[in-house]
A and B are shown apart, each in its own frame.
Chain A
């Protein structure tokens, strides 16, 4: 029997909140600005990956902000 994913989302959110209780000071954040820590992705690459994965898998969502629609390939 499959369990609802919501309980896992709640658990992850609570753990994330607990982890974020320690404020990181301004002068401690330098390394988060280094290139290897850049979480942003070129929007054209996001568009390409979204199109590839959404068209070849049954799942959609989590890549960019849309989850199907807008293309006959999904």
Chain B
């Protein structure tokens, strides 16, 4: 709760001061696909990597380590003054202990990883000088997952008020192949996700601007992870060789509600200290009907060197409560909850992230980001990405 109060205090700190340089700027600073001149565009490429380390903490029964390598290619073209499009190709290679574990079962022998392939095309239309409309469609596939995505958004600039109001709606219709923790294929099921976002960008003063937004999402259908299991511990059983710690217990499937309502309220305020230095405070409040409440707070410092290189340093603190269905251990075989999970991502934890992001330009624009995330349950993460962008 303190997060939004701090952000609101930041909003109210805006002070009117003249800036000698003056100048004009487009009032849509969060627009990921801004309008350019007709006939211009860019190619961009990003290589992302993240690694989750399992040092024996978190869920003791499974090895939760994951490594993901993700290249992304984007082509963006401004076909006319009022119309542009953007095509994004994504590929992920996921190497995880939980997938490799399936290979011990005959039904999934040879399983070692997951490859994700996705393409998304977005189209932007300038309806008037102050109103823009965009829509997108995408498809992605994995060995156990197929998804169709559609979305649209509109933004409207309020010039006298120095504000931009935006609304977006995104929907995904997914098909999940039910390959269970023991390799058994139980057919397919569906998952539908609908998310609506309202955001409000506001110039707060010559040196300060920010954004406040809310995202409401509703999911229904099969919301479990098919390969997740819970372990019913029983000291009378022999050690189970399929469990990471050879615990004495029996695995059964994870079961979660078939609907989920989620609310995220987020905000960012950035304040210029001078032409080369700025500070930012971002935060988010989150609530869902599975029992998870979370917040994060991200202060950031941004500096531009004489060479033009931009460097930002950020710290992000995140805290969440556990889902109602989460238990670290299940010990009573006669009283197994209908809804149950031991997924560490649904447990109680907090995390602290330290990260830096560097951007520079020569003939092309480059950026490099590196983050280390330390979690209270021992499941630390490191992730980095390098990006390249060539405009034409």
- Interface set of A (CB-CB < 8 Å, partner B): 2-3, 5, 8-9, 11-13, 15-16, 18-20, 22-24, 26-48, 51-52, 55-62, 65-73
Q: Contacts A28-B16, A68-B262, A69-B172 given: A60-B1 contact, CB under 8 Å?
A: no
Q: Which of A5, A13, A34 contacts B275 (CB 8 A)?
A: A34
B330 an interface residue at 8 Å Cβ cutoff?
Answer: no
Q: List 13 A-B contacts (CB under 8 A).
A: A16-B12, A20-B204, A26-B24, A36-B302, A37-B270, A39-B211, A39-B268, A40-B29, A56-B52, A58-B323, A60-B217, A61-B217, A72-B145
Closest to A40 in B: B29
- Nearest opposing residue in chain A for B385, CB measure: A48
Contacts of B29 in A (CB 8 A): 37-40
A73 to chain B, nearest CB (A): 7
A44 to B192, CA, bound (A): 24
Residues of B within 8 A of A70 (CB): 118, 138, 140, 147, 149, 172, 174, 193
Q: Is the CB of B44 within 8 A of A44?
A: yes
Assembly CA distance A29 to B206 (angstroms): 5
Q: Which residues of B contact A41 (CB under 8 A)?
A: 32
User: In the complex, what distance in Å separates the CA atom of A68 from the CA atom of B200?
Assistant: 22
Interface of B is mostly: strand
Choose from B264, B276, B292 the contact partner of A67 (Cβ within 8 Å).
B264
5 A-B pairs besides A20-B163, A28-B16, A59-B296 with CB distance below 8 A are: A11-B5, A32-B203, A36-B272, A42-B32, A70-B147
Q: B243 at the A/B interface (Cβ < 8 Å)? A: no
A-B pair count, CB < 8 Å, reads: 295
Number of interface residues of B (CB under 8 A): 130
- Complex Cα distance, B6 from A11, in Å, reads 11
Inter-chain CA distance A2–B293, complex, in Å, is 9
**B292 contacts A58, C-beta separation under 8 Å:** yes
Roughly how many angstroms separate A71 CA and B145 CA in the complex, as a whole number?
Answer: 7
Interface centre among B153, B172, B195, B318, by most chain A C-beta atoms within 10 angstroms, is B195
B217 touching A40, Cβ below 8 Å: no
| Complex Cα–Cα for A52 and B46 (A) | 14
For A33, the chain B residues whose CB sits under 8 A away are 23-25
Per-residue CB contact flags for chain B residues 38-64 toward chain A (1 = under 8 Å, else 0) read 000000111010101000000000000
Contact B272 A34 (CB under 8 A): yes
Taking a contact as CB atoms under 8 Å apart, the answer to whether A43 and B270 are in contact is: no
Asked whether, in the complex, the Cβ of B385 is within 8 Å of the Cβ of A45, the reply is yes
Q: Does B251 contact A (CB under 8 A)?
A: no
If A35-B310, A40-B32, A43-B33 touch, whether A69 touches B174 (CB-CB below 8 Å) is: yes
